[in-house]
Amino acid sequence: MSTPPAWSHYLPRLGLYAGVAAVLLLVNVGLPRLLNAYLLQILVFAACNIILASSLNLVNGVAGQFSIGHAGFMAIGAYMSAWVSVAYGKTWLAPYADQPCGPLVVSAYLMGLMLLGGVAAAVGGLVVGLPSLRLRGDYLAIATLGFGEIIKVVLLNVEAVGGATGLKGVPQYSTLFLVFGAAVVTVAALRNIGNSIHGRALLAIREDETAAEALGIDSAHYKTSAFVIGAFFAGVAGCLYAHYTQFIHPRSFDFMKSIELVLIVVLGGGKLRNVAIAAAAVTFLPEGLRQVKDLLHLQTDPRMVIYAAILIAVMLLRRERVLQAVLPRRKEGASRG
Amino acid sequence: MAESALLELASCTVRFGGLTAVDDLTLDVAPQELVSLIGPNGAGKTTVFNAIMGVYPLASGGIRLAGRDIAGLAPHRVAKLGVGRTFQNIRLFKGITVLDNLRAAMHQDGDYDLLRAAARSRTWAATESRLEARAMELLAVFGLQARAEELAGGLPYGEQRRLEIVRALATGPQLLLLDEPAAGMNPAETQHLMGLIRSLIERYSLTILLIEHDMKLVMGVSDRVVVLNYGREIAAGTPQEIARDPAVIEAYLGEPVH
C-alpha cells in the first residue's frame, strides 16, 4: 500500500491528521477530569452509536438494502473481543500494568481486538449478505431480523461467554482516544467510500438494480460487500462498547438496539453527516429527558413519552428529507411511455 | 459476413414456460451498422435485448459478440464486454445527480480498491478527476453540461431519454442497444434524436441495434430492418424493401390510407 511516492500524496493532509490526533489526546486527558462517569459513558455510547449508525447507513441508506439486524453484528464484535480479553487478554497484559508503556500496550492490544471483532462480524455480514442476493425489501428485512435474533439466542446459550448471565469482568481498555478516534475514522472512511466508484455502484444498485447491472456493476458482489463492510464497523463498535461497560449481555444487542440504529439512519435521512448528528442526538435525548421529571416535580417519568413525541414531530416536519434515501423506493408509476 | 460480424445471434430461442417469446432468431450485425428491430407489441423485440444482455437465458441457440460466446453470461459481464443499453421505460438513477449517473456508469474504468477509496489515495484522486473530466465532456457533447449537478429525476422527459443514452455510452460500449429511444418524444425531439443516433456511429465507432415504433425514425436511420412477429422473423432487408413487403404491411405497418 505504501510505495514511496504514495506517501507524498498524504503529506498535505499530515497537518489535519496531527490536529485530529492532538484534539483526541486532549479529550482523552481532559474530559475525564471535567465530567463524571455517567456523562463519560453517555459520550462513549454516542460515539459507538455514530460508528454503528454510519455503518448501517452504508447498507440501508447507500446500498438500499433494508437491514434490521445490525445489533447482531455489534454483538459478534463485542462477544468475540470480550471473550478474548476475559480468557487471555487480562493475563497477557498483567505484566504491563505498572509500567510507563502500559497504556500504549493496552491501546495496541485493543486495536488488535477491534480488528478481530470487526473481522468476526464481517464474516457474519457475509452470511447475511448472501441471502440479500435473493431477497428484497420487506423479505430481506425479515431475514436480517432473524439473523439478529439467532445471534442473541446463540449467545444466551453459550456458557463459555456467560450465557444468560452475561459476560462479566471485561477489562476497561477502551479509552476516549480510541473510541472517538474510531468514530472519526469510521465516518471519514465511509464518507470517502461513498464518494468513489464503489459508493456510486452501491447508489446505482439502490436506485435501479437492473440498470446498474446493465452498466457492468456486479450487484451481487456489491450488495454482499455492503453487508460485510457495514458489519465490520459494527463489530469494531461492539469491541469498544464491551471494553468500556465491562459487562455485556445478549439483551444489550437485541431487536430494540437494531431498531434504534434504523431510527437514527432514518432521522439522518441517509446522509452520513446527518446520521452522525442523529446518532449523538438519539443517545443524549433520552438521558437529557431524565431531568424533566425532577424539574416538573412529576410522580412518574414522562421521558419516553416526550422522546417518542419528539421523534414523531421530527418525522412529520422533515418527512421528505428523512425518508428520501432510506425507504425502499416504490416506482412512481411508469411516467409516460 | 459472419466472420466480421460484431454481434451474431444464431437460432436464438427464448421461452417463458409455454410461451415462445423469441423463436429461432438468426441475426448478424456488422461493425458500425445500425439495425432496427420492429414489429407489433409483444413481438419479442425487448426480449431479444434481454437475451443479449443475459437477463433471460436462451432455450437454444447462441450469441457471439466480436466472435466471443456471451450466451449465459450475467448482465454485468456482458456489459463489461462492451454492450450498452437503454430501457423502454427510462431507468435512470433518479435520486442521484446527472454527473453521478455517468460516473456510476464508468464503474469499470475505476482501478482502485475499497481501501484506496477509504484513504483517498493518489490512485483515487487521479481516477476521480479523470472520470469527472470524461463525464463532463460527454455531457457537453450532448448539451447536458448545465444539468451536471441536478438530480436525474428532475430533468425534463426528453433530456432524461438523452441522458440514458449518454449513460450507456459512458460505459464505453462497442454495441449499443436502444429500446424505443423516441417513445414519448415530439416530432422535433425525434428529428433531433435521429441526427444524434447517426452521429454516434461516426463519433464512437458504434454498432447499434434499435427498437422503435416511430417508422419515420426507423426508415431514416437504419441500414437494415428486421421485422418480428410472435417472436419470429417475418422479414429483413433495407428500409425500402421492408416498407414494400406485404407480410410486414399485414402484420405491422398496415395498408396505406387512400
Residue of B nearest to A3 (CA): B122
CB pairs under 8 A between A and B: 125
Mind listing the pLDDT tens digit for each residue in B157-209? Answer: 889 999 999 999 999 999 999 999 998 888 888 898 898 898 888 889 999 99
Q: In what order do the strands lie in the sheet with B19-29?
A: B19-29, B7-16, B60-65, B68-69
Write the ipTM. 0.91
Residue A332 has pLDDT above 50, yes or no: no
Residue A99 has pLDDT above 60, yes or no: yes
Mind listing the pLDDT tens digit for each residue in B35-44? Answer: 999 988 888 9
Q: In this predicted structure, which of A96-105, A120-129, A251-260, B231-240 has the lowest mean pLDDT? A: A96-105
Whole-angstrom CA distances from A92 to A105, A109, A240, A242, A327 are 10, 10, 19, 18, 47
Give span(s): CATH 3.40.50.300, chain B: 1-82+173-258, 90-172
Cβ A196–B124 below 8 Å, yes or no? yes
Q: What is the pTM of this model?
A: 0.88
Cβ A334–B95 below 8 Å, yes or no? no
What is the band of A3 on the pLDDT scale with cuts at 50, 70, 90?
low
User: Residue A248: helix, strand or coil by DSSP?
Assistant: strand
Residues linked to residue B13 through DSSP beta bridges, in sequence order: B60
Q: What is residue A97's predicted lDDT score, i.e. its pLDDT?
A: 76
pLDDT beneath 70: ranges in chain B: 1-3, 255-258
Cβ A210–B55 below 8 Å, yes or no? yes
* Interface residues of chain A, partner chain B, Cβ below 8 Å: 1, 5-6, 9, 188-190, 192-193, 195-201, 203-204, 206-208, 210-219, 225, 229, 324-325, 329, 334-337
* CA distance linking residue A220 with residue A222, whole number of Å: 6
Q: What is residue A334's predicted lDDT score, i.e. its pLDDT?
A: 35
Whole-angstrom CA distances from B86 to A336, B67, B104, B211 are 16, 23, 15, 10
> Domains in chain A, ordered, with CATH?
35-324 (1.10.3470)
Q: What is residue A329's predicted lDDT score, i.e. its pLDDT?
A: 47
Secondary structure in 3-state letters for chain B: CCCCCCEEEEEEEEEECCEEEEEEEEEEECCCCEEEEECCCCCCHHHHHHHHHCCCCCCEEEEEECCEECCCCCHHHHHHCCEEECCCCCCCCCCCEHHHHHHHHCHHHCCCCHHHHHCCCHHHHHHHHHHHHHHHHHHHHCCCHHHCCCEHHHCCHHHHHHHHHHHHHHCCCCEEEEECCCCCCCHHHHHHHHHHHHHHHHHHCCEEEEECCCHHHHHHHCCEEEEEECCEEEEEECHHHHHHCHHHHHHHHCCCCC
Residue A14 has pLDDT above 50, yes or no: yes
| CATH superfamily of the domain spanning B90-172 | P-loop containing nucleotide triphosphate hydrolases (3.40.50.300)
Encoded amino acid at B141, one letter: V
Residue of A nearest to B173 (CA): A215
Residue A203 has pLDDT above 50, yes or no: yes
Chain B residue numbers with beta carbons less than 8 Å from the beta carbon of A236 are none
pLDDT, average across residues A58-80: 93
Residue A221 has pLDDT above 70, yes or no: yes
Min Cα separation B120/chain A (Å): 7
Instruction: Tell me which residue in B74, B91, B128 faces A211 most closely, judged by beta carbons.
Output: B91
Using an 8 Å Cβ cutoff, are B250 and B240 in contact? no
Task: Let me know if domain B1-82+173-258 sits in CATH 1.20.120.530.
Answer: no
Residue of A nearest to B158 (CA): A336
Cβ B114–A219 below 8 Å, yes or no? no
Min Cα separation B96/chain A (Å): 8
